[in-house]
Amino acid sequence: MKEIRKILEKYYGYKDFRPGQEKIISNILNKKDLLAVMPTGAGKSICFQIPALLLDGVTLVVSPLVSLMKDQVDALSSVGIKAAFLNSTLDTNEFNEVLYGLKNNEYKMIYIAPERLDSRVFLDTINSISISQIAIDEAHCVSQWGHDFRVSYRKIGDFIESFTARPVITAFTATASQEVQKDIVKLLRLRDPEVFVSGFDRENLEINVIKEGRKDRFLKEYLKKNSQASGIIYCATRKEVNSIYEDVKALGYSACKYHAGLSDKERKEYQDLFIKDKKNIMVATNAFGMGIDKPNVRFVIHNNMPQSIEGYYQEIGRAGRDGEKSECILLFTPGDIHMQKYLIDVGLKSEDRKAIAYKKLQEMVALVHSSGCYRKFILNYFGEELKEDCNNCSNCLSDGEEQDRTIDAQKVLSCIGRMKRGYGATILVDVLRGSKNQKIISLDFNNISTYGIMKDYKKDDLVGFINTLISHGFMEQVEGTYPILRLNPLSVKVLKGEEKVIFKNIKVKDTSFDYSDLFNKLKALRFNIATEQKVPPYVVFGDRTLKEMSNDYPLTKEQMLEISGVGEMKYEKYGEAFIKVIAEYVSTNNIVKGPKIEVEKKLPSNFNVSTDENLYLKLRELREKFAAKESKIPYSIISQNTLKEISGRYPINLADLKDITGLGPKKVETYGKKIINLVKAYVEEKNIEVNWSERNKLKLVIDGEDRKNEEIAISMLEEGHHIKKISLDIEVSVSSILGYVTDYIKETGDVSFNLNLKEFYEEEEEEVILKACNKIGIDKVSDIKKTLNPSINYQAIRAVILKNFYNIA
């Protein structure tokens, strides 16, 4: 036990195991087969990774998704654990290289896709080495009773039986009903396994089912209030993904998308942008997410009801994997049921599987219509009893202001009754609003008493209200090619005044996760390190670890190792860089917090300068004279920030002037005397007492602005300023600003700029520049310039590159 705790702390940075982990690890080390059902975020991977390090031989991890394999291998490699993967992303040479390493005992863990288990060259390799454990991740994929059945998982049982010396077999999943658990044991041929069910409950997830109002309005308001949080929006169809993705982008948010209709390359690019925090909103079908180990997803919104409780619970399980509070919202309308039935009909050929899917859909519908605690309903479904209400779901919390909509409901229900035989929602809305279209007139509906009774309603609002009535059971929608509406016993009670119709106005909350200034600085450092190492940010440190750092201010190695998620291996790689940022923050903000803060080691603060506007204007006039004399652009001689620094510090001799940023020996020699004479005359005229102090390599901050020119330029572009105005304001060439944009897109993937690039090049120049780009590559702008006519400038080259290679308008 001591050994496994030592590994836990050294490699993973945790002092204690989560519930169930230690028992599962001990079982594996005793070489007993097991099935572990653990909720998402409970730490399944540690359960098979720690035994892999202690058992003799290699552990094979069967995993369904290449993204999961890469993330886990990256995380293991980052702390010095030898691991690799074998999947379709490797070419023949790379595949053979991993097999060579396997033969030569270079790895303790190999992640492999189930499709590769029958590769002859792979089988020959593993027959020559010792395999200590076969771990099957996402084990529910083996069962057709599961929500994510994969045929390739059915070959795992035969693969296991092929071993002469049978390794210990371990199976892991987050969502498995008792039916699915029995299937896993049987189909993976587990021998007398221990079955660990560590609980399905995720207490940090707030579960909300919203059956009121319009989905598009809710999404717009929610994203407005939670724009800084990372989240997933699930949709039932590709068409809906594309539509919502465009809507989210149009609102100005950083989004990406994922569905089976995209190419492998597009899916990988979008997924990487989301995983690496370069885009914070993912709009996707359920094709996205299995095995995605991104811990800081703060919300999951289902724009449509999923087909099963298993699918729903696995998808919301992608929120809050770091244990922080997160929100799960299901936006439901009755049309979702019709859509999911259609998707089952067209998507499944087997009648047996269709029957299973319909049964699961009905269970999902029952959840949506449940009036009790949603969490209790879900946990009971998985065979786990929750005795008390959770007080963390919309049925328990009942947030929102109540509104009595009985009269409006009576109008709708009365109209259905007067229309006699059943009609769909579209005709009902037209009658209620008094439409004069030919069909309404031909059916004589313009002569019934409810015709036009709700003419003041907007069409979309009335459709939303009717859907809400159906969702709450006040009337029924009969499914078919054209769903029709009809009354039910509850409808009659409402019409008689025996039942009130009370709905709530849903309140959209702000993200509950607080982002402190230090947290954001640490997050930025983490992003830079992750980008440099080409790994997701959470491989460096998780949000929870950064949050603890930003609360505790660790300034020594010993203090840093007390932070959860910081082990010896990660400290060696990243510790000092994070301590430096924390120490600078502590010093700048004069923070003293208990014995952890060593005040004598505080780093000095910024060097702050305030512009003297009058002197600054005189210095600009002087610079104009220098420029006119030399026929140069003024800011190429001395930048405006240098002038501002001079105006705020008042250097009155050449030695002082050498301490000004942006003035090297050559410029001091050329312009120094005239600048000093101007400053001295001004100081004497204004009777200013100069208290000169050396900057000593401190960070210069002028007028409180500590951003670099590239940050200011990007910010101004986002605010809608024209690029030429920005060039004048910050005194940077258009070409440089276009370079900033290019670098920003490379870093973030954000291509939402509207720059009107055609004004920066002639039409005939574009073709010539493109030829050079295709020959030389777009990253070597100076080399491109050398091959072109001297009349073609840098801004033309950068503009053509942005338009044609980054799709900027």
Q: Residues near 233 by Cβ (< 8 Å), separated by ≥ 6?
A: 219, 244, 248, 281, 282, 283, 284, 301, 303
Closest to 639 (Cα-Cα) out of 652, 629, 627: 627
| Contact of 293 with 264, CB cutoff 8 Å | no
Contacts of 282 (CB under 8 A, 6+ apart): 231, 232, 233, 255, 256, 257, 258, 270, 274, 288
Q: What is the mean pLDDT of residues 479-502?
A: 86
Token pair 């922080």 in the structure block, residue: 324
Whether the pLDDT of residue 598 is over 60: the answer is no
Tell whether the torsion through CA atoms of 658, 663, 665 and 671 is positive or negative: negative
Alpha helices in 226-350 (DSSP H): 238-250, 264-275, 309-316, 335-347
Question: Which residue, chain included where needed, has tokens 């094709």?
Answer: 287
The H-or-E segment that residue 700 falls in is strand 700-702
Residue matched to tokens 């003293």: 592
Which residue would you say has higher pLDDT here, 384 or 358? 358
Closest residue by Cα to residue 147 from 471, 410, 381: 381
Let me know: does 302 contact 315? Beta carbons within 8 Å.
yes
Rounded average pLDDT over 447-466: 88
Give the pTM. Answer: 0.56
Tens of pLDDT, residue by residue over 616-642, are: 999 999 999 988 888 888 888 898 989
Share of the chain above pLDDT 70, in %: 93
Give the closest residue to 327 by CA, choosing from 335, 336, 318: 318
**C-beta neighbour count of 693 within 10 angstroms:** 8
Q: Cα–Cα distance between 414 and 495 in angstroms, integer?
A: 7
Name the helix (H) or strand (E) containing 740. helix 734-748
Residue 470 confidence (pLDDT) above 50: yes
Amino acid 512: pLDDT: 46
Give the separation between CA 68 and CA 312, rounded to whole angstroms: 20
Tokens encoding 238: 């590709």
* pLDDT at 737 > cutoff 70: yes
Does the pLDDT of residue 240 top 90, yes or no?
yes
pLDDT of residue 408: 94
* Cβ burial 29-44 (10 Å sphere, 16+ → b, else e): beebbbbbbbbbbbbb
Residue 173: burial class (beta carbons within 10 Å; 0-12, 13-18, 19+): buried
* Average pLDDT for 375-385: 82
Q: Residue 176 CB: number of other CB atoms within 10 A?
A: 28
Q: What is the spatial distance between Cα 769 and Cα 217, in angstroms, rounded to a whole number?
A: 45
Q: pLDDT tens digits for 169-193?
A: 999 988 777 788 888 999 999 999 9
Residues 6+ apart with CB under 8 A from 206: 325, 326, 327, 328, 392, 393, 397
Specify the pLDDT at position 290.
66
Domains and CATH numbers, the chain: 2-197 (3.40.50.300), 205-397 (3.40.50.300), 401-505 (1.10.10.10), 517-601 (1.10.150.80), 607-702 (1.10.150.80), 709-805 (no CATH)
Tell me, rounded to whole angstroms, the distance of Cα 440 from its chain centroid.
48
